[in-house]
Amino acid sequence: MFLGFSYIVVASRLGLTRALQPCRTRRPSLLQDQQSRPPGIKPLTMATELEKSTANLKLSQTRSLYPPINPYKVAFVDVSDIHTVYYEVSGNPNGIPVCFIHGGPGGGTVDAHRRFFNPEIYKIILFDQRGCGRSRPAANLQENTTWALIDDMERIREELSIESWVLFGGSWGSTLSVAYAQCHPDRVLALILRGIFMIREQELSWLYERNGAAMLYPEPFQRYLAGLPERLRSARSLMTAYHSILSNEKASVERKTAANAWTKWEQTLSTFPKPGEVDEADSAKYTDEENLAFARIESHYFVNRGFVEEDGFLISEEQMKKIRHIRTVIVQGRWDMVCPRKTAFDLAQKFHGNAEVVIVENAGHSTFESGIEQELLQATETIGEEFKSMCNGTVADR
């Protein structure tokens, strides 16, 4: 027990996203009480219980991603007059619904993301957010806000006739997971969060301005700075300068250069202990189009502070009391340079002891770093055991 929450440090032996804009919902959100959970499932409410839940963790046991699996359903849904969103479903059609929420904003899903979940017990939903991945039109900024993405998630959930689901999100995915849960707490069974990001000014400044991560990685930062036209390199806000180029439809050459530099800077900070070495499944080989979508959408969200006008709103007491009862696992690399550990610390405190926090030593930001990967697999296994009464049937397609 430490400062009001259970703080579990995992010494890996593996080689180690003013007032709130209101949520626009299709139905009222009610706080989920204990009676609404499946039979036999009790939310963990005390730090001592959390400590017990991880007491038997075998650090020497190496887990592997589950075998590759194909989706049994692929669909595109028109979520607005502009945007068409891609989603897919794999695993057990009658399993525990889990939604993988990708990062960025501006990233996308890949086949490997299905492999964090046991296909025998999970119904696995992946979707590409507006303008991302296989969603169309690519890199479009119109009607592209946090609240629109939450509405899209609700649209997908309703199309699939899912009552409630587990949310699995890292980096910006953790932001969107928390924001969705606060709008629809009755629709969330559990949260599995990684590399926590809450769209606060201090987090954005750390990553994109001169006095944060730049102090640790000055050479890569110079390359990031060089991605801007020379006239903008002395701008007070580099993030705003980048956005001015990335959102300019007429500056095609400058935009391509800026998009590649922006993306490379974030990739450079994503792994530990060798920055820049990212597993191919995670993001090693982006095309220019993917770089543009990533950088353009990300800068759009961040310049607009995630469309949450009050700094720190998502982890305010008023918002956090809406989700404090939800079963939550937080996995955080100690040396995460993209989303520093302090944000996970701050979020965990707001759960008042009800979140299980796993700090992975010798790990950074990437989902596919061995220590991070192992703990995410452990989390999906644990949550699967807790909610297995929901599961029946068998996997649809291997």
Please report, for the domain that includes residue 342, its CATH number: 3.40.50.1820
> What's the total number of domains in the chain?
2
pLDDT of residue 366: 94
Q: Is 336 a catalytic residue?
A: yes
Residue 376: enclosing H or E segment and its boundaries? Answer: helix 370-386
| One domain for residues 197 and 234 | no
Instruction: Dump pLDDT digits (tens) for 44-74.
Output: 333 323 332 333 344 446 789 999 999 999 9
Average pLDDT, the chain: 86
Tokens standing for 152? 């899209």
Of 276, 307, 338, which residue constitutes the final position of a domain?
307
Which among 152, 174, 336, 366 is annotated as catalytic? 336
- Tokens for 74, please give them: 């692929």
161 and 193 co-located in one domain:
yes
Torsion of CA 27, 33, 34, 36, to 10 degrees: -20
Integer angstrom CA distances of residue 275 from 11, 271, 280, 334: 20, 5, 14, 14
Pull the structure tokens for residue 344. 């996970």
Pair (125, 24) in one structural domain: yes
Of 273, 307, 341, which marks where a domain is finished?
Answer: 307
Instruction: Verify that 339 and 279 share a domain, yes or no.
Output: no
Give tens-digit pLDDT for 124-156: 999 999 999 999 999 999 999 999 999 999 999
Q: What do you get for the CA distance between the two ends of the chain, in Å? A: 42
Q: To which residue do tokens 């960025």 refer?
A: 104
What is the mean pLDDT of the segment spanning 2-22?
A: 38
Q: What percent of the chain has pLDDT over 70?
A: 80
Domain assignment present for residue 254? The answer is yes
Whether 192 is covered by a domain: the verdict is yes
271 pLDDT band, cuts 50/70/90, is confident
Residues 81, 17: one domain?
A: yes
* Active-site choice (6, 365, 366, 370): 365
Give 396's pLDDT tier (boundaries 50, 70, 90).
low
Identify whether 209 is part of a domain. Answer: no
Total H helices, total E strands in the chain = 11, 9
In a domain, 1, yes or no: no
The pLDDT of residue 61: 61
Q: Is 64 marked active-site?
A: no
Task: Copy the structure tokens of residue 119.
Answer: 């296909």
Name the residue type at position 359.
I
Q: 329 with 193: CB under 8 angstroms?
A: yes
Clarify whether residues 332 and 189 are in a common domain. Answer: yes
Q: What angle do CA 268, 272, 274 make, to 5 degrees?
A: 65
Amino acid identity of residue 357, one-letter, is V
Q: How far apart are CA 168 and CA 95, in angstroms?
A: 15
Let me know: does 156 contact 76? Beta carbons within 8 Å: no
The number of C-alpha atoms within 13 Å of 219 and in the hemisphere containing its C-beta is 3
Q: Among 6, 171, 177, 283, which one carries the catalytic annotation?
A: 171
What are the strands of the beta sheet with 188-196, ordered from one edge? 6-10, 355-360, 327-333, 188-196, 165-171, 96-101, 122-127, 84-91, 73-78
CA distances from 366 to 86, 199, 363 (A): 24, 18, 8
- Tell me what the mean pLDDT of segment 96-104 comes to: 98
Residue 220, domain extent: 215-307
pLDDT category, 361, cuts 50, 70, 90?
very high
**365 catalytic, yes or no?**
yes
Query: pTM (2 decimals)?
Result: 0.85
CA distance 113 to 115: 5
Last residue of a domain, one of 278, 307, 336: 307
